[in-house]
């Protein structure tokens, strides 16, 4: 009898310590799914620092042990139920982290590629060897279009960051080469034999064309500096010419500061001191000290120059956009109102973006980027001004299109060019006109954005949903769209507009549409480029993510 009771108790104990098997199984499955998702997050490049809190919580859960109670499964069942809930919560948290990290790295990569493109665009006007960097930009754009995971976007950012550093070094080295060439020219004017120096200079130029990494330019810069010093040391008789040239550089910088409205009193003292030092420079040692001092003084001005130039150019842009717009108003016979033809460059367009970016600028590189951006916007504005006076039919090549392609080095590949003053879209392939359509761009309050853009997304079909609340003058009901090409984040598309019948000059302003839906068609778009449906279908089918989009 005692033995039977003992066996019966053991059976009851064993049957009571397992809990609900289905709940325990679900907890085990959620644990495995979380572990698999963590492994996936690590593989796609989610930073370990972000994953660590989730990993610690997972490990803590893994170390817990189910309670042990006689004749009662409920505590065990409750334990596994809680465990299942925590694993599920961590999975939700982890999926959100993957999504947010992917979005952040994608946004940063897009910004980095745009900065690279902007910088490269600016340098094209400086006659620098940029072929290697142009290829790098194309590779970065391709990589960005194909990227899916954080590691992909981080790789794009790293690639473009290295390229921007190399472009900075290229400018520095090119500047030093120019200084060397200036010294050589001064020596020639002094009737000094510069055959060896010219040979070295030509070799340096060839090396510059092949360089692509920051260290390549740094090595060449060191070599150029040594050559420059050698030229000075071996040609004492040229010191008066070289010192005058160096002082001229400093004088030019002070004049620029004055132009930018910056107090030059401290720098004028530097200039006067350097002029006195120049007059005392009679030998190589004195020249080296003088040159070093000039370098130091010029370097001390650099940050003020960059900041001053950025603010000056932004102000110049606003003044020119406003003045030209006021002097070239479109008289709308539909409502008797006058509208500026360059609305895309005014505060409601990229003008406010320019001010916003300038307000964000804090580092010298930020202000240098602003210089690039302002110069590009000024160039585009002047293209619009020139196109206003060009009466070439919309379906033929415009001179301003060619200037735009040359300035941004877009002669190769496929480019959609949009003339906002002409309300026309022209597609170029390798610099040759392929197709041309009349379009309707953004209304004055919500203009399209001039600039050079990459295709950010392609949707066919899709439904546009108003970002404005109902009751807003800019609200619109959910609208089906057949073909949409996103050219700028924030909902700026090239797309079909089935509700319009009329396109071309003047349709961006209030007007009577001859056959469209007047609730939609009587004004310009909300910043998009509207195209007739059959033309939008053709455009969508004959372009891709590599197509560039340039608007002016």
The residues that bridge with 433 in the sheet, in sequence order, are 428
Tell the burial category of 315 from Cβ atoms under 10 Å away from its Cβ (0-12, 13-18, 19+): middle
Q: Single out the residue of 485, 412, 426, 417 nearest to residue 450, CA to CA.
A: 417
What is the distance between the alpha carbons of residues 61 and 38, in angstroms, rounded to a whole number? 15
The CATH code of domain 395-551 reads: 2.40.440.10
Output the CA torsion sign for 223, 227, 228, 232: positive
Is 70 exceeded by the pLDDT of residue 6?
Answer: no
Locus of tokens 């000039």: 294
Q: What is the pLDDT of residue 2?
A: 42
Structure tokens at 147: 């990227």
Per-residue pLDDT, 310: 96
191-222 burial, b at 16+ Cβ within 10 Å, e below that, comes to: ebebeebeebbeebeebbeebbebebbeebbe
Express each pLDDT in 43-56 by its tens digit.
Answer: 999 999 999 999 99
**pLDDT score of 316:** 96
Sign, CA dihedral 28-29-32-34, equals negative
Query: Distance between CA 22 and CA 390 in Å, rounded?
Result: 77
What does the pLDDT read at residue 70?
A: 58
Strand pairing class (529-531; 492-496): parallel
Segment 250-299, tens digit of pLDDT? 999 999 999 999 999 999 999 999 999 999 988 767 887 898 899 999 99
R_g (Cα) of the chain, nearest Å = 33
* 8 Å CB contact between 177 and 204: yes
Integer Cα distance of 224 and 298 in angstroms: 19
Give the pTM: 0.58
β-partners of residue 429 are 414, 432
pLDDT tens-digit readout, 333-382:
999 999 999 999 999 999 999 999 999 999 999 999 999 999 999 999 99
Q: At what angle do helices 150-189 and 74-124 cross, to 10 degrees?
A: 20
Residues 6 or more apart in contact with residue 196 via CB below 8 angstroms: none
Question: CA nearest 309: which of 378, 385, 382?
Answer: 378
3-state secondary structure of 509: coil
The span from the first CA to the last CA of the chain, in angstroms, equals 100
Q: Is residue 492 predicted with pLDDT exceeding 50?
A: yes
DSSP bridge pairs for 458: 485
Task: Quote the pLDDT of residue 15.
Answer: 36
More confident residue, 420 or 169: 420
Tell me the percentage of the chain whose pLDDT exceeds 70.
Answer: 94
In this structure, of 29-38, 282-291, 493-502, the range with the lowest mean pLDDT score is 282-291
Domain boundaries, the chain: 2-102, 166-301, 395-551
Instruction: State yes or no: pLDDT of 415 exceeds 80.
Output: yes
């Amino acid at each position: 009898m005692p033995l039977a009771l003992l066996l019966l108790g053991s059976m009851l104990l064993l049957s009571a310590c397992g809990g609900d098997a289905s709940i325990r199984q679900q907890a085990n499955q959620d644990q495995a799914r979380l572990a698999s998702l963590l492994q996936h997050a690590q593989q796609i490049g989610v930073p370990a620092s972000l994953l660590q809190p989730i990993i610690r919580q997972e490990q803590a859960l893994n170390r817990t042990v189910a309670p042990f109670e006689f004749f009662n499964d409920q505590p065990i069942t409750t334990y596994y139920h809680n465990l299942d809930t925590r694993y599920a919560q961590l999975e939700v948290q982890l999926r959100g982290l993957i999504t947010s990290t992917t979005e952040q790295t994608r946004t940063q990569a897009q910004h980095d590629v745009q900065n690279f493109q902007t910088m490269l665009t600016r340098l094209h006007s400086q006659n620098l060897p940029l072929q290697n960097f142009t290829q790098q930009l194309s590779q970065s754009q391709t990589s960005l279009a194909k990227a899916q995971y954080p590691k992909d976007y981080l790789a794009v950012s790293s690639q473009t960051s290295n390229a921007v550093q190399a472009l900075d070094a290229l400018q520095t080295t090119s500047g030093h080469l120019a200084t060397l060439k200036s010294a050589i020219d001064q020596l020639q004017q002094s009737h000094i034999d510069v055959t060896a120096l010219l040979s070295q200079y030509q070799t340096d130029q060839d090396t510059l064309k092949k360089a692509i990494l920051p260290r390549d330019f740094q090595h060449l810069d060191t070599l150029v500096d040594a050559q420059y010093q050698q030229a000075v040391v071996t040609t004492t008789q040229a010191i008066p010419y070289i010192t005058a040239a160096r002082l001229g550089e400093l004088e030019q910088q002070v004049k620029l500061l004055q132009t930018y409205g910056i107090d030059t009193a401290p720098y004028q003292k530097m200039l006067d001191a350097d002029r006195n030092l120049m007059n005392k420079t009679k030998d190589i040692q004195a020249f080296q000290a003088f040159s070093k001092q000039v370098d130091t003084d010029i370097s001390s001005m650099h940050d003020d120059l960059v900041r001053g130039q950025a603010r000056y150019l932004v102000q110049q842009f606003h003044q020119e956009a406003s003045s030209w717009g006021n002097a070239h108003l479109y008289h709308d016979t539909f409502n008797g109102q006058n509208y500026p033809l360059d609305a895309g460059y005014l505060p409601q367009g990229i003008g406010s973006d320019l001010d916003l970016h300038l307000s964000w600028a804090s580092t010298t590189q930020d202000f240098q980027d602003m210089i690039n951006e302002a110069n590009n916007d000024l160039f585009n504005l002047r293209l619009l001004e020139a196109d206003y006076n060009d009466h070439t039919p919309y379906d033929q090549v415009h001179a301003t299109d060619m200037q735009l392609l040359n300035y941004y080095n877009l002669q190769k590949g496929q480019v959609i060019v949009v003339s906002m003053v002409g309300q026309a879209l022209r597609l170029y392939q390798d610099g040759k006109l392929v197709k041309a359509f009349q379009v309707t761009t953004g209304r004055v309050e919500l203009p399209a954005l001039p600039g050079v853009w990459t295709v950010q997304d392609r949707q066919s079909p899709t439904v546009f949903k108003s970002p404005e609340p109902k009751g807003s003058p800019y609200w619109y009901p959910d609208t089906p769209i057949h073909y949409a090409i996103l050219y700028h984040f924030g909902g700026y598309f090239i797309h079909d507009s089935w509700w319009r019948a009329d396109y071309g000059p003047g349709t961006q302003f209030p007007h009577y549409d001859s056959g469209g839906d007047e609730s939609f068609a009587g004004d310009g778009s909300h910043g998009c480029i509207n195209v007739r449906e059959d033309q939008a279908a053709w455009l969508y089918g004959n372009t891709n993510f590599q197509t560039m989009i340039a608007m002016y």
